Amino acid sequence: MKSLKYLALGLSLVALAGFGVYQYLFAPPEILERVANNKPLEFAPSEFPTSLQVIPSEETADGFPKEVKIEAGDHSFTARYTGQMTRSKNLLVLSIDLYALASYAVDPPKDGDSEAMLDEMFQSGERKLLLLKFLKPLPGKHIFQAVEEEIEISFTDVDLDPLRPNMDQFLAQFANGSMPGDIVYIAWLPGGRLYSSFNEPEDVSLVLEDVPFVRALWRIWFGPQSGPERFGLVSSLTGDTQMK
């Protein structure tokens, strides 16, 4: 059970490497060595509990709930659906959909065009949630180096060295891969608290407290390097899916 909790973020990062996931068959030795030597994370005291419960609404929007209620101990709040995107990979003449990602926010952006709203979604530290639904099987052993490359592309203005312990702990969870229909729950709460679980909405566990890391993680999908499909993540707010 505990291994599944930590597997959640690992599987979400599988998706981060969507375009490069099939390019590598084995992890480089230096990555495997770092993962093997990594120590368990220790968490600082927090006003929020160590796990959340995610309760989806019955009403859906394109296959995802329109709202999700998040129970965090004595705290309870509702996050609104802001949109979704699909990450695909081109293989020869075919485009293969790897996963769909739905975005939710308690206080979503209200002003600005799509670009401004996307920027606000990964810059602010308000309560947000991502639901990542796998559409194809992804073998974990193929994605170590692809994940590293995706992180380096997205974390261009972040010092990666202090984040290595967190990154390596996530990489250690890729061995089991994923199957179609698996859902990863990823929640961002104030203070850089990142919660995640794999197919367990009733037990979305605290993984780390690290504002720069969580902001950079969100930017993987919401940032400009993500491509035009990212505009779908705020399409419910603007009615647009194209760049303005």
Report the CATH architecture of 2-238: 3-Layer(bba) Sandwich (3.50)
Query: Model pTM?
Result: 0.76
Average pLDDT rounded to a whole number, residues 20-42: 40
User: From the CB of residue 153, how many other CB atoms can be counted at a distance below 10 Å?
Assistant: 15
Are 94 and 22 spatial neighbours (Cβ–Cβ below 8 Å)?
Answer: no
How does pLDDT run across 46-63, given as a tens digit for each residue? 566 889 999 999 988 888
Q: What is the mean pLDDT of the chain?
A: 75
How does pLDDT run across 189-224, given as a tens digit for each residue? 988 888 988 889 999 988 888 888 888 888 889 988
Cα–Cα nearest to 188, from 155, 140, 221? 221
How much is the pLDDT for 170?
Answer: 62
**Domain ranges, ordered by start, for the chain:** 2-238
Does residue 108 carry a pLDDT above 60? yes
How much is the pLDDT for 175?
Answer: 66
How much is the pLDDT for 7?
Answer: 42
How does pLDDT run across 142-175, given as a tens digit for each residue? 656 656 766 777 777 777 787 777 777 666 656 6
CA–CA gap between residue 233 and residue 94 (Å, rounded): 24
